[in-house]
Amino acid sequence: MPELPEVETVRRGLVPAMEGQVIARAQINRPDLRWKLPENMGARLTGKRVTALRRRSKYILADLDSGESLIIHLGMSGRMLISGQKVGEFHHPHPTPEKHDHIVLDMDGGARVTFNDARRFGHMDLGRTDDLENHWLIRTIGPEPFGNAFSESYLIEAIKNRQSPIKTVLLDQKIVAGLGNIYVCEVLHRAGISPKRKAANLSSKRIASLVPIIRDVLSEAIEAGGSSLRDYRQADGELGYFQHTFRAYGQEGNPCVTPECGGTIGRIVQSGRSTFFCGQCQR
């Protein structure tokens, strides 16, 4: 499932095609994705201007001049693809419609934004822009890792008494928004913290050290266009490249890259997910 860097990369790719543009036509090709789509979704989108395109955790939020916001979650295999947009001297024509093109937004500037999702684990909803933080999909999400609310003191207080493994705690979207399996593995490897350690057993200093590392890992991943594993593509169809710099995730059996470590990356399963770490330098 796309994590914060992938979603942010898609959002940035959509901005030139959508932000400030009017949705000339919204074509809704099925009544549901993961859940039932909003009533009269096509009519509520058609003719509305996208005033801003934001991100909250793993959601893309398209604010409309109607006072509503379109909430988009890519799910496991969802892709937002742009066609018909002129970039420099190049023009990307509209492709032939595909079986899994579930939502098609034709913008008045000529671009077409298509939501394609083969497995339909993605979802969309509409909510009041001025009350979006209370929407059922968003209200329990924790602070954004790049925001001021996500501080060293906040993280210490939030997890110091948690008896679960630190890997599981950092995956909890109520603690910090947008982190998923890939980037938690990478963060813990850089921090030298075992994913098996109980959060409550970590010193305040070690918990605090996670904050800048989380921001660094996510920033580097966004700069690389995210990580392309399985279905993920950027909005222009290109792959992300951060997977080429993984230190831990997917590196089972490879030497640990931590200087003077000498260990090997191993794999365990935690809460049904693969965890990659070095048993030598992560304590």
Is residue 81 situated within a structural domain? yes
Count of structural domains within the chain: 2
Q: Report the pLDDT averaged over residues 221-239.
A: 57
- Please report whether residue 139 resides in a domain: no
Residues 86 and 27 occupy one common structural domain = yes
User: 103-130: per-residue pLDDT in tens?
Assistant: 999 999 999 999 999 989 999 999 999 9
- 219-227 contacts at long range (C-beta below 8 A, 24 or more positions apart): 220/245, 221/5, 221/183, 222/4, 222/5, 222/8, 222/9, 224/5, 225/9, 226/2, 226/3, 226/5, 226/6, 226/8, 226/9, 227/3, 227/5, 227/6, 227/182
pLDDT for the residue 3: 86
For residues 273-279, give the mean pLDDT.
96
Strands 50-56 and 86-87: unpaired
Mean pLDDT of all residues belonging to the chain: 90
Do 60 and 94 have their domain in common? yes
Across the range 9-17, mean pLDDT stands at: 91
Q: Which of 72, 99, 134 is the last residue in one of the domains?
A: 134
Domain that holds residue 247: 152-278
Section 55-81 average pLDDT: 95
Token pair 């009350």 is found at 131
CATH number of the domain that residue 8 is part of: 3.20.190.10
Helix runs in 160-203, H state only? 166-171, 181-191
Given a cut of 70, is residue 52 above it in pLDDT? yes
Single out the residue in 134, 160, 190 at which a domain terminates: 134
Same domain, yes or no: 204 and 118: no
Mean pLDDT, rounded, for 157-180: 97
pTM above 0.75, yes or no: yes
Catalytic residue set: 2-3, 58, 273
Cα–Cα distance, 181 to 192 (Å, whole number): 17
Share of the chain above pLDDT 70, in %: 90
Please identify, among 134, 161, 180, the residue that sits at the C-terminal boundary of a domain: 134
Instruction: Judge contact between 122 and 81, C-beta under 8 A.
Output: no
Q: Is residue 123 domain-shared with residue 196, that is, in the same domain?
A: no
pLDDT at residue 281 above 90?
yes
pLDDT recorded at residue 98 = 78
Query: Are 104 and 171 within one domain?
Result: no
Alpha-carbon gap, residue 144 to 57, rounded angstroms: 7
**Is the domain of 268 the same as that of 164?**
yes
> Nearest to residue 102, comparing CAs of 120, 83, 118, 115?
115
- For range 26-47, the mean pLDDT: 97
Residue 256's pLDDT band (boundaries 50, 70, 90)?
Answer: very high
